[in-house]
Amino acid sequence: MQDLGISILFKGINFQRLMGGLWVTLRLALITIGLSCLFGLLFGVLMLSKKRVAKVFCRVWLEIVRFMPQLVLLYLVYFGFARLFGWDLDGETSAVMVFTFWGTAEMGDLIRGALTSIPLHQTESAAALGLKKGQVYLYVLIPQTLRRYVLIPQTLRRLLPQAINLSTRIIKTTALVKMINVTEVLKVGQQIIGQFYRQPDAAFWVYFVIFLLYFLVCWPFSLLAKQLEKRWA
């Protein structure tokens, strides 16, 4: 009897190779998420700026990432920048640049939304509370209380589930680096299938497992986001 194709995954170090491939995209995603949070904070604050130039700048940036497929952006940087500026970027660097460009705008928009969603009466009721306790509190305590105990947690409650969802999307999207010659999990899968070309259903099992791996990585994040949304709704 012939072996099931799935057994090739456990031959030698095949499974480790696959995991190694997955780690390539996950690492890219993690770097991207980190940078996007950092720059997204600046972007979000910039979006709330009163200056027209800043607003238009952010708007255009956001529209670009909303309209252009991430793959097109990847091509622009990976192939285009070499021609235009003579920068010969490798696939992973291009990917981090593109995904951060995208993630920054999306994260920034979420942060803007969370910041503007704080109802005014929150601030007012906090202020009213302070007035009762006297002028000292009004000038000393309230500004700090607002910032530390009212505004930040409120913002986080709204922001966190959305930010987690965006992170899941970033993880899924990093699979695209396959298209700019980065050896990630799909590429490793193809190599394994190539080695075991005698095994007819190898491709089925390899792609099935990759599918499952992505699901197992992304699903917990989705569940977490859903839980937080429910709890903080």
Contacts to another protein by CB under 8 A: 5, 66-72, 75-76, 79-80, 82-84, 168, 172-173, 175-176, 178-179, 186, 189, 200-208, 210-211, 214-215, 218-219, 222
Q: Which two tokens stand for residue 54?
A: 């800043």
Query: How many other CB atoms are there within 10 angstroms of residue 124's CB atom?
Result: 10
CB of 191 to another protein, least distance (A): 13
Alpha-carbon distances, residue 37 vs 44, 123, 143, 220, 228 (angstroms): 10, 26, 25, 20, 19
**Cβ distance 41 to 111 under 8 Å?**
yes
CB of 138 to another protein, least distance (A): 32
**Cβ distance 194 to 45 under 8 Å?**
no
**Closer Cβ to another protein, 40 or 184, answer by number:** 184
**Closer Cβ to another protein, 35 or 180, answer by number:** 180
**Closer Cβ to another protein, 123 or 190, answer by number:** 190
CB of 75 to another protein, least distance (A): 6
Query: How many other CB atoms are there within 10 angstroms of residue 165's CB atom?
Result: 17
The percent helix, strand, coil of the chain (3-state, each to 5) is: 85, 0, 15
**Closer Cβ to another protein, 110 or 210, answer by number:** 210
**Closer Cβ to another protein, 145 or 165, answer by number:** 165
**Cβ distance 123 to 129 under 8 Å?**
no
CB of 5 to another protein, least distance (A): 7
CB of 77 to another protein, least distance (A): 10
